[in-house]
């Protein structure tokens, strides 16, 4: 623990109990104020966004950033993300110190406060990073086993390579969108069992996937793998991910090359990037790996995190949301450092802003399954909802809300939400 994660420190700004965004969090995001002025970079604390471009104009970061005088008056976080861990840590410490309840610098300067603090509720959140590449892993043993049982039977649930390497595929970066962006039902080919031929039309098996993701800060040169011990130096922070999936389209197209139109129509992420430093107090053991992974995937420290994850659903007939899943990031068999080391072991070059997602995060119990595919067991056990509604898969008008947080003794460090509402196919 360092001073920025000390649970005894409080801010001069009021932060509600169980808020995801106390002074120990300080996630980064890109926002546009209510006056529709230019987007800029901010940090969230409680219900307030601290406009870092204002602090930058006051030379508050000058000792750290030197001649870089416009890092935070930008549409994306990418430039700041290239600066590396020492700069990330130094800027975080300055922000943390400025927000402490005993520091008068911002607390007592009303003119500066009025310029630098914006109500989060009146600001529009934007995609925080310019994402050049997107990779989606398949790292939950429970999820992979469930899917294998559904499609291949219990005896062949896990592919023979699954326990030896983090399986992944390359997704579509252009369709990664920020929370709140409408999700239009995708169209494509699917196999009609009745007629025994392919048909075209809107997906009838639209699903969510409960995932997390991490963003690359500092990339690597082509041909130079990132070792598992150095992986943390390249990770800027984490977000929540909903990697929407059209199961019927995917089932017809995926052999032999894997996901395509069933996955590339939309991936939603939460707007606030939680730094690895904020998550450090919640590091924990992951699942025991047996057989032992190869040397390049072995590490000595606990590299998982105790992050509670929830999925809620709201249909157009419901007055409030209903929780349909509670899982945890710590269930992931392959952790983010192993994912990063494996991704680059062949010399693949990652770049600032690249998004690497976990794959669906399911737990051991039925109420911890991270997709409707599993919860309804391919639609054979419909989900029961209020007012007599049921769901095999998502219907038009449904809203899916994913939330996640780490619980400390007297505070939470959270991600907020990633929200998506389903609209009819265009």
Q: How far apart are CA 130 and CA 401, in angstroms?
A: 23
Q: How far apart are CA 348 and CA 351, in angstroms?
A: 10
Asked if the peptide bond before residue 26 counts as cis, ω within 30 degrees of 0, the response is no
Strands 355-357 and 134-137: parallel
Q: How far apart are CA 299 and CA 416, in angstroms?
A: 30
Dihedral of CA 65/49/98/37: which sign? positive
Under 8 Å between Cβ of 179 and 419: yes
Question: Is 143 a known active-site residue?
Answer: yes
Catalytic residue among 20, 143, 342, 343: 143
Q: How many Cα neighbours within 13 Å face the side chain of 353?
A: 16
Strand intervals (E) in 89-186: 117-119, 124-126, 134-137, 168-170, 176-178, 183-184
Strands 412-423 and 304-305: unpaired
Under 8 Å between Cβ of 143 and 374: yes
Helix, strand, or coil (residue 423): strand
Q: How far apart are CA 295 and CA 80, in angstroms?
A: 33
Catalytic residues: 143
């Amino acid at each position: 623990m360092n001073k920025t994660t000390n649970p005894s420190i409080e801010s001069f700004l009021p932060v509600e109990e169980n808020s995801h965004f106390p002074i120990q969090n300080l996630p980064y995001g890109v926002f546009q104020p209510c006056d529709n002025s230019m987007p800029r970079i901010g940090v969230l604390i409680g219900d307030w966004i601290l406009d870092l471009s204002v602090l930058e104009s006051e030379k508050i970061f000058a000792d750290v950033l030197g001649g870089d005088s416009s890092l935070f008056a930008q549409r994306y976080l990418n430039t700041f993300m290239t600066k590396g861990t020492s700069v990330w840590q130094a800027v975080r410490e300055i922000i943390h110190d400025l927000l402490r309840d005993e520091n008068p610098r911002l607390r007592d300067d009303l003119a500066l406060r009025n310029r630098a603090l914006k109500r989060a509720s009146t600001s529009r959140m934007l995609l925080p990073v310019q994402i050049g590449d997107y990779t989606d892993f398949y790292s939950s043993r429970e999820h992979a086993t469930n899917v294998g049982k559904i499609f291949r039977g219990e005896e062949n649930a896990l592919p023979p390579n699954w326990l030896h390497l983090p399986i992944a595929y390359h997704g579509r970066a252009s369709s990664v969108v920020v929370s709140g962006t409408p999700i239009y039902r995708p169209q494509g080919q699917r196999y009609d069992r009745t007629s025994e031929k392919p048909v075209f039309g809107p997906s009838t098996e639209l699903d969510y996937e409960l995932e997390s993701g991490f963003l690359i800060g500092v990339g690597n040169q082509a041909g130079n793998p990132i070792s598992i011990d150095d992986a943390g130096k390249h990770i800027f922070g984490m977000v929540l991910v909903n990697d929407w999936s059209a199961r019927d389209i995917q089932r017809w197209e995926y052999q032999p090359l894997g996901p395509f139109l069933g996955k590339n129509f939309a991936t939603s992420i939460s707007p606030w990037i939680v730094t690895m430093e904020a998550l450090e107090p919640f590091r924990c053991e992951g699942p025991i790996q047996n057989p032992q992974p190869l040397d390049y995937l072995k590490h000595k420290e606990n590299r998982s995190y105790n992050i509670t994850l929830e999925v809620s659903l709201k249909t157009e007939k419901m007055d409030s949301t209903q929780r349909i899943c509670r899982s945890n990031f710590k269930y992931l068999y392959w952790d983010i450092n192993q994912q990063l080391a494996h991704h680059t072991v062949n010399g693949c070059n990652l770049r600032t802003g690249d998004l690497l997602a976990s794959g669906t995060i399911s737990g051991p119990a039925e109420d911890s399954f991270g997709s409707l595919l599993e919860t309804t067991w391919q639609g054979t056990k419909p989900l029961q909802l209020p007012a007599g509604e049921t769901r095999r898969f998502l219907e038009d008008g449904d809203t899916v809300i994913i939330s996640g947080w780490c619980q400390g003794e007297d505070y939470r460090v959270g991600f907020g939400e990633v929200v998506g509402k389903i609209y009819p196919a265009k």
